[in-house]
Structure 1
Amino acid sequence: MKKFINALLPTSSNAFKRVELLFDEKIIKISADEIACEDSCEIIDLNGAMLLPGAVDAHSHILSDNDSEAKLIGKYSQEAIKGGWTTIAEMSFRSKKPVFTLDDMKHFAALVEENSYIDMALWGNVNINDYPYHAEAAQILWAKGVVGIALYSPSPNPALQEMSFSEIMDLFMDIYESDTAFSFQGYDTESDSQYTFDSQREAIKKLLRRMQENPIHIPRVSAFETVEFINSISKRSDISFSLAMADMMELFDNTVNPAGYETDLKGYSAELYELLRTNKIYMITNNSTDNSDKYGELYKGLPPGLLRYSYTWILSELWKSRKIPLAHCLRMISENPAKRLGIYPQKGCLEAGSDADFVIFDPQGSTEFKLPDGSTKKLSGNIKAVYLRGTEVFNGKKIAKPSGSFVTRTNNPKRRHNKTTWI
């Protein structure tokens, strides 16, 4: 049993409240008054540091076709835990072993338990070669706790046969009653020969005509017109999207895009700032992967080293510098991703009963941030410590041994069944 004292907890306003927090692997109690605990309870004085939830990333793309899975999970999760990202959902689109079966799911779970420094969840895949049993196999994965079924068009992976839009739409109909959540990365391959902002938007429109009520998530949107379109229909369709951390860094730091994405967001900086300020952006993700161009523009991602700085960057550049409310910032990188994955309130919040995943943040400190182009930037604030399920795993300098766990979905992310899954 441990107890934090003199911790500053953020509220829904811009204010903080000084609290004590009692926890073991889970949060037991939070109170502005003194919390009684046993003599054996370890007292940890935060001396007025901010107590924040561990960040949740709805999708990384860690597993590759050219390196060992254990090595990759260790490499990325080390950077993640140093940056306060305590939970990440893997959405592998280049792995030699797509997640088609329960054995594939168990294989990934074992990799996490043996090698990861963070907790990890998993997106499943569809094996269209297994027709007509592909839909049933996807349903088994969903029933056993994957956070969603990832769809790609075109497929970036020879091990993942590309599904036509007709096959995707038939899949939606086959499992309509299951409430299964999906993600879609791609463009309208039937009318365009390459990815463009317009062809991505047309693909989304085509899917929504057949989606019925199942939740669907778009992992990366880099065009303002697509942002506006999804926001305009999100009350009628259970759809969410992510803005990329790399796009945010380019937009607000005026630097070369760290992931090399094509984006038109810089032309709409004032409009996008207003959406951020008014809580109209649902999620920001790292999209961590190697930055190989061989998979094309659609499947680029953020280099793993930036995981160490992205949480601090959000707090420094959006909250402190540009006065985006702290509550909005935390929703975009913790609460909302956890809700969309169906792992809230186990993850993504500071409440009694939630996992004791904490980031201890000093707003008066500073962090030297080195961009991939070699330039450096000083960020306001620094991460003093990170806790994973009640254990300090990063003390600001060193990380503990791997202690990550495989996380399965505990709630239904469908908006109709669970009002906590939407802003």
Structure 2
Amino acid sequence: MYVYDVILQNGFIVTEKGISKGNIAVKNGKISKITTSEINKLAEIHIDASNLYIIPGLIDSHVHFNEPGRTDWEGFKSGSKSLAAGGVTTFFDMPLNSSPPTINKEAFYEKNDAGKRKSITNFHLWGGLVPENLENLEELLNCGVIGFKAFMSSSGIKDFQACNDVALLKGMEKIAQLKSILAVHAESQSITAYLTEKMKTDNKLSIAAYCHSRPIESEIEAVERILSYALLTKCKTHIVHVTSSKVVSKINKAKQNGVDVSVETCPHYLSLSIKDFEEKGAIAKCAPPLRSEAEIELLWDCLKRGEIDVIGSDHSPSPQSMKVGNIFESWGGISGAQTTLNVLLEEGYWKRNVSLETIVKLTATNPAKRFQLYPEKGTIKVGSDADLTIIDLDKTFVLKKENLFYKHQQSPFINKEFRGQVMYTFISGNLIYQA
């Protein structure tokens, strides 16, 4: 008879606080023992993790799996398999790309039921904040949404409208009363709409023109506005997919002035530039767009100083047919759910001396704390959920199309060489991925 469900022996255990060599025993989905002594007991799964690193399962706070309604883009089954292969054990699905969008309890139940049937990982759902659903926010919170998402510029989805200033203020006031959190896509609708129309009128349809139509100034204007609303309403706020150190600086000043705000950026903003966009084409289109190589380095500097709180993939897939033609009209979203950890290891740990502890903090501990899942998630402690990712830091591989579990096997990282590979992913002690 097995004493434990899983024993991981001789691994380097990584938390936000440090690295130590030891052994982990798992029983009934929880971490039962962490010790430097050998565990001489029987287990259903026994792994010699010598020279491997054991980290908390990643929490991806920003994915678009599009189910129900747009499962030809992605779905819970393919999306969660992709995350598991990337060491992610929990994800938060955004409300806009499913049809219907998650803006009331009926839509929540429909999506949640699909997720329960099909996802192989843990998940939570974001609820939407749109101008017409202020009266639905409380029912959505009671359903169990992890928080609310709003757009300050067009979402690209007709039935998920951007919020004007009045809707934002009213929504943030209500969300503050509910003691929840608002995630915000912060780009100025006025600036982006004006510049986009100008580019099209002048027949400037290049990738560079698209990037010029969504400048950093557009982010700054929107972020300054939402920060003032957060201060006014006392609404906990999460600024998603920040692309520039200039934006991070504005947010950190607000933090110092007492605003309860957190910063998220994405692996593609830490690794891909406008030059890469021009070389790869629409597969690397996103909003806000990729920035300069200099901005990438400045964003890494912010990360090293602790000014960035969370890394989310912003996985926003689409069929290949939507990634062709006029760059302004092609779908703006990067497929990246499977490669978050690979990018952070290659570009952060190996190239820029970012510690594993920092990577764990950004991808697991911080999101767990920010969204009230800690200490069950986001760390390795006795009593925590046995959501664990085991990596071989020295193993190199070249990402190939056939390695991807996405419904549409496309990624701007195809043919990139990575150092550091996910070998095993566990959720509640259950092995859900093995390389």
TM-score by length of 2: 0.79
Are residue 28 (structure 1) and residue 28 (structure 2) matched? Answer: no
Equivalent of 2:120 in 102, 117, 121: 117
User: Match for residue 316 of structure 1?
Assistant: 346
> What is the CA-CA distance between 1:57 and the residue it aligns to?
0.8
Letter in 1 for 2:293: K
CA distance in 1 between partners of 2:420 and 2:71 (Å): 35
Residue matched to 1:19: 23
Matches within 5 A, 1:100-139: 100-126=103-129, 128-129=131-132, 134-139=133-138
Q: CA deviation at 1:391?
A: 0.7
d(CA) in 1 for partners of 2:34, 2:223? 43
Q: Which amino acid aligns with 1:105?
A: F
Q: Is the 8 A contact 2:399 2:415 kept in 1?
A: yes
Distance 1:301 1:378, change over 3 A: same
SS in 2 for 1:307: coil
- CA 263–356 in structure 1, closer or farther in 2 if over 3 Å, else same: same
Residue aligning to 2:427? 388
How far did residue 70 of structure 1 move? Answer: 10
Cα displacement (A) at 1:53: 1.2
Q: 2:265 matched to 1:263? A: no
Which string of whole-angstrom CA distances, capped at 9 and with x for unpartnered residues, describes residues 48-90 of structure 1? 4211111111111120687337962212222111111111100
Instruction: Find 2:76's aligned residue among 60, 67, 73.
Output: 73
In the alignment, the residues of structure 2 paired with residue 77 and residue 12 of structure 1 have an alpha-carbon distance, to the nearest angstrom, of 25
Structure 2 residues not aligned, in runs of 5+? 195-213, 401-409
The amino acid across from 1:366 in the alignment is: T
Tell me which of 357, 369, 375 is aligned to 2:399. Answer: 369
Q: Could you tell me how far apart the structure 1 residues matched to 2:304 and 2:81 are? A: 31
Distance 1:68 1:298 in 2: 18
**Residue 334, structure 1, aligned to residue 333, structure 2:** no
How much has 1:253 moved relative to structure 2? 11
Moved more, 384-393 or 338-347: 338-347
Aligned to 1:355: 385
Deviation (angstroms), 1:123: 0.4
- CA distance in structure 1 between the aligned counterparts of 2:313 and 2:13, rounded to whole angstroms: 25
The TM-score with structure 1 as length reference comes to 0.81
Q: CA deviation at 1:121?
A: 0.7
2:301 is the alignment partner of 1:280: no
Which string of whole-angstrom CA distances, capped at 9 and with x for unpartnered residues, describes residues 201-220 of structure 1?
22222222232322111211
Q: Name the structure 2 match of 1:8.
A: 12
- Partners of 1:49 and 1:361 within 8 A in 2: yes
Out of 222, 226, 232, which is 2:247 matched to?
Answer: 226
Q: Which residue of 1 aligns with 2:47?
A: 44
* Match of residue 141 from structure 1: 140
Once the two structures are TM-superposed, the CA of residue 337 in structure 1 deviates from its matched residue by 1.9
Q: Deviations over 1:127-146 (max 9, x none)?
A: 543xxxx4342022223321
**Alignment correspondent of 2:188:** 188
Counterpart CA distance in 1 for 2:93 and 2:391 is 26
Summarize deviations over 1:363-387 as a string: whole Å, max 9, x none.
Answer: 2322212484686232222221111
For the 8 Å contact 2:266–2:312, the answer to whether it is kept is yes
In the alignment, structure 1 segments of 5+ residues that lack a partner are 397-423
What's the CA shift string for 1:160-181, capped at 9, x where partnerless? 2443211221222345432221
Identity %: 20
Cα pair 2:15 2:55 within 8 Å, conserved:
no
Counterpart amino acid of 1:188? S
Count of residue pairs brought into register by the alignment: 389
**Contact kept in structure 2, 1:62 and 1:73, CA below 8 Å:** yes
